[in-house]
Amino acid sequence: MMKHYYSISDHQNFKALVDQGILMQQQIQSYDIIGKNKTLIMLFFSPSLRTRISTHKAGLVLGMHVISMNAGDGYQMEFDFGKVMDGNSAEHIKEAAKVISQFGDIIAIRAFPGLQSKEEDLKDQILQGFMKFATVPIVNLESCLHHPLQGLADAITIESTKKITKPKVVLSWAPHIKALPLAVPISFAQAMNAMQYDFTITHPEGHELPSNLVGNVKIEYDQAKALKDADFVYAKSWSSTLNYGQPNKTSNNWIINEEKMNLTANGKFMHCLPIRRNVVATDGVLDSPNSLIYKQAHNRLFAAQAVIFKLLQQNQPF
């Protein structure tokens, strides 16, 4: 029983979601009864392209009504309790969550971290607030800490591409002009743990992911050693957790290029997109036949379908 789809580690049976996604890949048009007369409400506090379109389409493919809006079309929200609301915020999250729950059967929300304060971001207060007060399932479209639809799409991509049962998967930190959120690497690590692949993270020191979220994962600070014999290389930048929110300007040599891919076992390249070409990875890597970036993006649709399908299924009257 899945109450919300907030993080990958919430789910005892993540593998079943991956299998459902692979099923969805094969035949996308026969599920439109389950969502009939149900409404998916999508609320964006942050920009979105893949997530916005793929989740909207997933709802429609499953026969749902979909109402999508930017949070900025409504009112600025308050998250604290007991407060005298005489500042900029006109609506408390308690009201927003309870009210939207009355109009939607599933609420999907995107809310990026501010990347100003690690303490603040670790609270993940928009998603946590909605989960606390909503009376219907919440789907996380990427919060401060988790991007579980991306992690699911990534797992679907590897599971439907791999040649061996337990492939070697390497998450490799990447350079970027800005400090970026931890949500994608956390969800990817949780997904790899759940799938029991041979999983290694490689990153410069100071970029350790929160161990309470990613578990006792293998870390290899030497990128070349980590990449050796990898079947899948996932490049992704994320903020230092020591100098939180500060861009890392000293590690541009962490870019993934063809030379580094040659260290792998004819490894596949992955990234969640959007990607800054020739910063995170070179054109040569992105455009090679071993690049899975578009397949991953396509699987965002099937990941969203799988999650919404499971949520609708368990809420069906019998």
Pick the stretch among 203-211, 217-225, 261-269, 274-282 that binds a second copy (CB under 8 A).
Answer: 274-282
Nearer to a second copy, 61 or 213 (CB): 61
- Least CB distance from residue 286 to a second copy, whole Å? 8
- Least CB distance from residue 96 to a second copy, whole Å? 7
Q: Are 157 and 299 in contact (CB under 8 A)?
A: yes
Residue type, 60: L
The closest of 204, 179, 202 to 118, measured between CA atoms, is 179
- Burial (CB < 10 A; 0-12, 13-18, 19+), residue 154, is buried
For position 49 contacting a second copy by CB under 8 A, the verdict is yes
Residue 243 dihedral angles phi and psi, to the nearest 5°: -100, 65
- Least CB distance from residue 38 to a second copy, whole Å? 10
Site for a second copy in 174-213 (CB under 8 A): 177
For position 16 contacting a second copy by CB under 8 A, the verdict is no
Among 24, 31, 45, 50, binds a second copy (CB under 8 A): 50
Among 74, 114, 210, 215, binds a second copy (CB under 8 A): 74
Q: How far apart are CA 211 and CA 43, in angstroms?
A: 30
Among 132, 274, 313, 314, binds a second copy (CB under 8 A): 274
For position 316 contacting a second copy by CB under 8 A, the verdict is no
- Return the residue matching tokens 């109009």: 103
What secondary structure does DSSP assign to 131-179, as a single string? HHH-SS-EEES--SS--HHHHHHHHHHHHTT-SSSS-EEEEEE---SS-
Give CA angle at 235 (230, 239), nearest 5°.
135
Site for a second copy in 98-137 (CB under 8 A): 98-100, 102-104
For position 218 contacting a second copy by CB under 8 A, the verdict is no
For position 41 contacting a second copy by CB under 8 A, the verdict is yes
3-class SS of residue 211: helix
Task: Return the axis-axis angle of helices 183-195 and 148-159, rounded to nearest 10°.
Answer: 40
The closest of 192, 166, 194 to 12, measured between CA atoms, is 194
Among 3, 12, 16, 95, binds a second copy (CB under 8 A): 95
The size of the interface with a second copy (CB under 8 A), counted in residues, is 58
- Return the residue matching tokens 């957790």: 241
Among 86, 165, 212, 289, binds a second copy (CB under 8 A): 86
Tallying the residues shown for the chain, one arrives at 318
Please, which residues have CB within 8 angstroms of residue 247's CB and are 6 or more apart in sequence?
176, 177, 178, 179
Site for a second copy in 235-264 (CB under 8 A): none
- Return the residue matching tokens 């920009």: 47
Among 19, 22, 34, 70, binds a second copy (CB under 8 A): 70
Nearer to a second copy, 39 or 193 (CB): 39
Among 141, 293, 303, 308, binds a second copy (CB under 8 A): 293
Residue type, 222: D
- Least CB distance from residue 92 to a second copy, whole Å? 5
Among 7, 9, 25, 48, binds a second copy (CB under 8 A): 48
181, containing H or E segment? none
Binding site for a second copy (CB under 8 A): 29, 37, 39, 41, 44, 47-50, 52-54, 56-57, 60-61, 65, 67-70, 72-75, 78, 81-86, 89-92, 95-96, 98-100, 102-104, 177, 273-279, 283, 293-294, 297-298, 301
